[in-house]
Structure 1
């Protein structure tokens, strides 16, 4: 049985990209780690952009199809 909604969103809440990885979206998880890491590093002083990336990550883990 595949995790479809709540569990991937919960995992992505704590570790961005983990929910996508659980759903089998390996490329999407890697891109979240790569892009989120670079953008988070470069724009950490804003706090808004990294938060938006994190919030989208949780939303995507919840709503994307398994």
Structure 2
């Protein structure tokens, strides 16, 4: 079964990178976890940058075909 839209986006809302992992994009999921974690940790005081990373993650999980 090819999962391409709703479920990966929903999973990414709660766990960034999980939608990409479900779609089989393992390297992209690892990069989201690593870069998102580092950038989120360093720039958490801004609240804007971590939100933008999270929003891009959900958008990518919904739109990028596996």
- Same-fold status (TM-score > 0.5): yes
Equivalent-residue separation in structure 2 for 1:43 and 1:29 (angstroms):
20
Partner of residue 40, structure 2: 40
Partner of residue 24, structure 1: 24
Map 1:1-66 onto structure 2 (within 5 A): 1-66=1-66
Structure 2: stretches of 5+ with no match in the other structure: none
TM superposition outliers: structure 1 runs of 4+ over 3 Å: none
Superposition RMSD in Å: 0.4
Classify the secondary structure of the residue corresponding to 2:24. Answer: coil
Equivalent-residue separation in structure 2 for 1:2 and 1:14 (angstroms):
21
The structural deviation recorded for 1:2 is 1.6
Structure 1: stretches of 5+ with no match in the other structure: none
Equivalent-residue separation in structure 1 for 2:46 and 2:2 (angstroms):
37
- Give CA deviations for 1:18-62 in whole Å, capped at 9, x if unaligned: 000000000000000000000000000000000000000000000
